[in-house]
Structure 1
């Protein structure tokens, strides 16, 4: 498998790891090693560098998010793709804050998983927004600081990435939009939240539970 993209795979469930290993190998990727928890992942990475880490976000002991935090703290910039079965809006923010370059739900299409890995290996980011169905009821408020208008699902997705500190260019790459389109979304978001800058917009959106 000479020349294949080198991958580290972490998941606490052996059956899930086996399934992912088989899938990724069929796609021509090389699984350098597997780990059942974050601590093992960090130990193995110290001696066996890879091009992309694919890790479950929920693992006993040291989970995927904390593993990425510790990886970044020791100066390791290996791209990390975090996978989860949990459809929770907060996980995307936690993943971006930890320093992960990618986030996908485990029910993503295999082709999307392969594309995400290739994108991360190329130095890009892929932070797929989780479903916003469970937060849409939060868009109506009865307070003085309420948004001027309701938010669309795409605006919420942009807001989440803004909260992770991503630039317009990075948001555009993650959401497959033109950079100019993202700039327009940001302007609309600032207007709806009646704020002058991105930081105040994110803080207000968090306070109002938009994200």
Structure 2
């Protein structure tokens, strides 16, 4: 069972999430927090695998709470779940150490899937969020699409390029395995090689590299 902490200053939102996630056979809600400080204290007490974290909260906001939690030994995974989709929040959340970023209008099934993927160590960004990050980088550095970017992509094998394209479109490992008729282990191996060859540390950086090379 994946042990989840719900963090939101709106009691109705927490109740809705608890009801929605409570039906999953792989998830158990182990606690709730109404602000970032309560979330940090709950994590310190142990027994939490994934934190669903709101951004705007009293006492301590979600960004500061994420930074505090990620500074602790063996921290849980954190998914930012918010109504705010501004680029600045996405970038700050990722910089703070969040593993996932989802909007509150994400479907229940997708939230459950995201919790499972994040708990397994797979970063989770919705395709909408990935597209926002790519747009932000493209707008702030319009000359990034260059021969250098193309050269980095040329380090990839044909199969690795196919996997990288799928990553850039926001596909999960399972979706990539299904579409390319590969085993999950093979997909994970390809992604590891892609990270190394593109000097990337996460899937968003892979997407940006593909965008810079004009392939997305």
What band does the TM-score fall into relative to the shorter chain?
0.5 to 0.7
- TM-score, length-scaled by structure 1: 0.65
SS at match of 2:129: coil
Aligned-residue CA RMSD (Å): 3.7
- In structure 2, C-alpha distance between the alignment counterparts of 1:184 and 1:43, rounded to whole Å: 35
Q: Show the 5 A alignment for 1:91-106.
A: 91-106=89-104
Q: Show the 5 A alignment for 1:12-51.
A: 12-28=9-25, 29-51=27-49
Stretches of structure 1 that go unaligned for 5 or more consecutive residues are: 150-167, 192-211
User: Which residue of the partner structure matches residue 186 of structure 1?
Assistant: 209
Stretches of structure 2 that go unaligned for 5 or more consecutive residues are: 146-162, 177-190, 195-202
Alpha-carbon offset, residue 46 of structure 1: 1.1
The 1:173–1:63 alpha-carbon spacing in structure 2 relative to 1, beyond 3 Å, is farther
Alpha-carbon offset, residue 50 of structure 1: 1.0
The 8 Å contact of residues 43 and 69 in structure 2, kept in 1 or not, is answered as: no
Q: 2:68 aligns with which of 67, 70, 74?
A: 70
**Structure holding more helix per residue:** 2
1:123-168 CA-partner distances (Å, limit 9, x unpaired): 11102243868x97x9789xxx85488xxxxxxxxxxxxxxxxxx9
The 1:175–1:64 alpha-carbon spacing in structure 2 relative to 1, beyond 3 Å, is same
- TM-score, length-scaled by structure 2: 0.64
Q: Show the 5 A alignment for 1:20-169.
A: 20-28=17-25, 29-128=27-126, 129-130=128-129, 147=143
- In structure 2, C-alpha distance between the alignment counterparts of 1:102 and 1:85, rounded to whole Å: 14
Aligned length: 166
